Structure 1
Amino acid sequence: MATFEFMLPYYGDVGLMQAAVRSILGQTDPDLRLTVVDDGKEPDVPGWFAELGDDRVRYLRNEHNLGITRNFQKCVELSTADHVVIMGCDDLLHPHYLETVRAILKANPDLGMVQPGVEVIDGEGVVTAGLADNVKGRIYAPSVNGRRLMGGEELAASVLRGNWMYFPSICWRGEALRAVNFRDEYSVIQDLALVVDLLERGEQMMVDNTTTVFQYRRHAVSESSVQAFSGTRFTEAERYFNAVAERMEARGWPKAARAAKVRSASRFHAITMIPGALRRGQRDGVRTLARHAFTSGQRHEG
């Protein structure tokens, strides 16, 4: 049985999903398993997987649409390998992703998470760097020259200040991931919540920028950005940051608690979304975005 498993929660563009699958199966290290959990109804998808003829691939289609969070949870529950990647169905791997990550894990067998080198591509597959990714890289991402081991309050404070990670690229220790899974109450900020939960359990992350092995696709319009213009994602973010700030204080991690209260990257993101919400006539969204951007972070929703 393969010790490394890619879980692919799928819904959306068939061609992009097929490219993602090919990038997984084209790894220089072939010792892997791929499980696809299809949350859609595209008619030709089951047949395409049947024709692959690769016994490393397991394809499952949900009887009913589960939605993002529940399908992610199902992927975690179905995983069995020692190490797991919950990959985006429109992202791409460089051929040496698995070879690179496996070498890191061989040298650091107890790691809970590996954040490898990532480049951002647009909907056409062209390498790009927009405002969000420039801010991530230049302001919020930690200084890493090669590899850096992080954990505890240091990493919690860092990601709560600004979530610089690229979640679909992260390799997780399977046992730790399955013990925590995604929280039911979050649909947009669930990746950050999962990492903080793991840090509270003592897990550590190796951040590696020695080589680029993953392509993260950022579309001009995505489900998360649609929610952003209406303010939905920031209502969820506010609820999460208020709750996690209390947990960090109770744990004795004051820097992490302060980062959650200030939540500077989330505030900045809300500010950048206000013009778009105005153009779309989203008055309620503008109010929600402005409140998230300019209030102190101390107020709790009822």
Structure 2
Amino acid sequence: MENGGADKATIDIALPYYGDVALMQAAVSSVRAQTDPRWRLYVVDDGKEPGVPEWFAGLDDPRISYERNEVNLGITANYLKCLAMAEAERVTILGCDDVLLPEYVATIHRLHAQHPGADMIQPGVEIIDGDGTSVDPFVDRMKRRMFAPELRGTRVMGGEELATTLLRGNWTYFPSISWRTEAIRAAGFDARFVVTQDLDAMVRLIASGGEMVVDDTVVFQYRRHASSASSTQAVSGKRFAEERAFFESAAARMTELGWEKAAKAARRHVSSRVYALTMVPAAVKHGDTTGVRTLARHVLG
């Protein structure tokens, strides 16, 4: 594929990497397969997997840069490092086990041209499992049927309406979102949060007047599998301890703005409690009595 080169990129794709080498390589290959050449990929390796630097060197692709951290920074610090490195007007923080479909960059460019001031662009997403097979897990059916807004084509959302829907149930997919670089860099990520850092950043952007463009064109594959950080923390109950802290913070922020519907949604955090309920059998199976108690407290509010 003939390409315009990294110097013409108007979308940055950051890949904070840690973990499975093969899945990371598949993610990189999906970026290289884009039909629209206006992108730059930079990878920040927070691990020590052998052969990875050599693999990137072998790509010999001027659109791709790679560096390995001298010490492990952890998820949030590595995300912040990626934000600091962004140069283009928009940036996507791609998950190292996710996949871009070939029209992702073209779709983001189209939506950005139509709504250049949007802080967030959420395109359509397909769920895949660890083997890359299309699946439709309960949590994603719940997102789609109970919490996601009605959508045919493209919709612009913001203010209390958007905050309320997200605090009822986060129906977005963080690695698929294209962020306006200036906005997400200013917002940053709160070091207190790991599994809710994306929702926290979105809520803070919305509170400051930011808008989200939502489009139903499916151009992203989000990988959901049991070994993910969020799934592991969900079974142990750690995820929900963090979520309670986040929702308390969000409820206070919404109250300060006078957005009572959003504040109520944060206090109730319905989807989080339903998800915790679905994790109880797994915690029981693992014999994790502490996890069971943590989950039960979260479900009962």
TM-score bracket, normalised by the shorter chain, equals over 0.9
Q: What CA distance in whole angstroms lies between the structure 1 residues aligned with 2:93 and 2:229?
A: 18
- Per the TM alignment, residue 220 of structure 1 is displaced from its structure 2 partner at its CA by 2.8
- Post-superposition CA distance 1:196-237 (Å, at most 9, x none): 01111211001100x210000111332211111211111110
Q: How does 1:150-165 map to 2 (within 5 A)?
A: 150-165=157-172
Secondary structure of 1:207 counterpart: strand
Corresponding residue number in structure 1 for 2:175: 168
Amino acid at match of 1:283: T
Runs of at least 5 residues in structure 1 that lack an aligned partner in the other structure:
296-302
1:34 and 2:68 aligned: no
Q: Which residue of 2 aligns with 1:280?
A: 286
Measure, in 2, the Cα distance between the counterparts of 1:221 and 1:88: 14
Q: TM-score, normalised by structure 2?
A: 0.96
CA distance in 2, matches of 1:16, 1:274: 29
8 Å Cα contact 1:82-1:173 kept in structure 2: yes
Query: How much does 1:79 deviate?
Result: 1.2
> Within 5 A, what are the aligned runs for 1:4-153?
4-153=11-160
Q: Is the 8 A contact 1:113 1:171 kept in 2?
A: yes
In the other structure, the counterpart of 1:247 is 253
Deviation at 1:110, TM superposition (A): 0.8
How many residue pairs get matched? 294
In structure 2, which of residues 253, 256, 265 is the aligned counterpart of residue 259 of structure 1? 265
- C-alpha displacement at 1:96, in angstroms? 0.8
Indicate the percent of aligned positions where both proteins have the same amino acid.
54
TM-score, normalization: structure 1?
A: 0.96
What is aligned with 2:210? 203
Instruction: Give structure 1 regions of 4+ aligned residues with deviation exceeding 6 angstroms.
Output: none
What RMSD over aligned residues (CA atoms) do the two structures have, in Å? 0.8
Partner of 1:227: 233
Determine if the alignment matches structure 1 residue 292 to structure 2 residue 298: yes
Q: Read off the aligned partner of 1:257 and give its amino acid letter.
A: A
CA distance in 1, matches of 2:53, 2:117: 37
Q: Report SS of the residue matched to 1:60.
A: strand
Q: Which moved more, 1:164-173 or 1:75-84?
A: 75-84
Partner of 2:4: none
Could you tell me which runs of 5 or more consecutive residues in structure 2 were left unpaired when the two chains were aligned: 1-6
Three-state SS of the structure 1 residue aligned to 2:189 is: coil
* 1: CA distance, partners of 2:249 / 2:49: 39
The answer (yes or no) to whether the contact 2:225–2:231 under 8 Å persists in 1 is no
Which segment drifts farther, 67-76 or 157-166? 67-76
